[in-house]
Amino acid sequence: MLEADNLECVRGERRLFAGLGFRLEAGELLYLQGRNGAGKTSLLRMLIGLLPPENGEIRWRGELIDEAGEAFRADLCYLGHLNAIKEDLTPLENLLSAARLAGLTLCEDDAIDALEQVGLAGREDLACKYLSQGQKRRVALARLVVDRRPLWILDEPFVALDVAAVDWLAGIISGHLQRGGMAVMTTHQLVAIPAGTVRELRIG
């Protein structure tokens, strides 16, 4: 269970939001909405523990995330607006090395399967710098296919995807929720997620 209580965010000299709180149970999805610059990404960075809130607290399974530390990060999967893939590595190498650094066990066959699912079959061994923007994004999304950690925090996951890929990703997310996972995500386009309880939070 993820709880946020009375969060306040100050960036530079501007107070983006204050008194913000929510509670997320297993199988629930939280959509963060708000205009540009409202602090959606800042809130996500607070939730993953990279940005300390000005005020308020965030708890994971009842424990403050700072104190839970490694235990919290072991449960967390974050997909930022940057793809976090290395241009010089191949999609397969990227996927395997990301899993290893995150402390996950991932065998090569599963990784190839995941890449096939995101439509990169036959390109596993091509350095990522030769891929298009959309294909690079798919390499990043392939992480979600194999990720079984309970808390997903996704920053604009649907951006730069075509219609088919949006449907596919919605399916992946609802699969995650059906397994009892939780997800928090920002998005400009409201995509219907077939399974799980969907809640919305408007900032600013």
Calpha distance 124→41 (Å, rounded): 31
Sheet strands (E) in 34-179: 55-60, 63-64, 76-79, 151-155
Q: Does 165 bind other proteins (CB under 8 A)?
A: no
Nearer to other proteins, 129 or 202 (CB): 129
Q: Does 125 bind other proteins (CB under 8 A)?
A: no
Classified as helix, coil or strand, 179 is coil
Query: Contact 55/6 with Cβ under 8 angstroms?
Result: yes
Smallest distance, other proteins to C-beta of residue 194, A: 28
Smallest distance, other proteins to C-beta of residue 167, A: 25
Smallest distance, other proteins to C-beta of residue 197, A: 26
Q: Which of 89, 68, 54 is nearest to 151 (CA)?
A: 68
Q: How many residues bind other proteins (CB under 8 A)?
A: 34
Nearer to other proteins, 68 or 173 (CB): 68
Query: Contact 8/19 with Cβ under 8 angstroms?
Result: yes
Tokens matching residue 17: 């939001």
Interface pick for other proteins out of 26, 112, 126, 127 (rule CB under 8 A) = 127
Calpha distance 139→90 (Å, rounded): 10
Smallest distance, other proteins to C-beta of residue 54, A: 7
Site for other proteins in 45-104 (CB under 8 A): 45, 48-52, 54-55, 70-71, 73-74, 76, 78, 80-89, 93, 97-98, 100-103
Q: Which of 187, 143, 179 is nearest to 161 (CA)?
A: 187
Nearer to other proteins, 50 or 121 (CB): 50
Q: Does 132 bind other proteins (CB under 8 A)?
A: no
Site for other proteins in 13-32 (CB under 8 A): 13
C-alpha dihedral, 19 to 42 to 56 to 31, nearest 10°: 60
Residues making contact with other proteins (CB under 8 A): 12-13, 45, 48-52, 54-55, 70-71, 73-74, 76, 78, 80-89, 93, 97-98, 100-103, 127
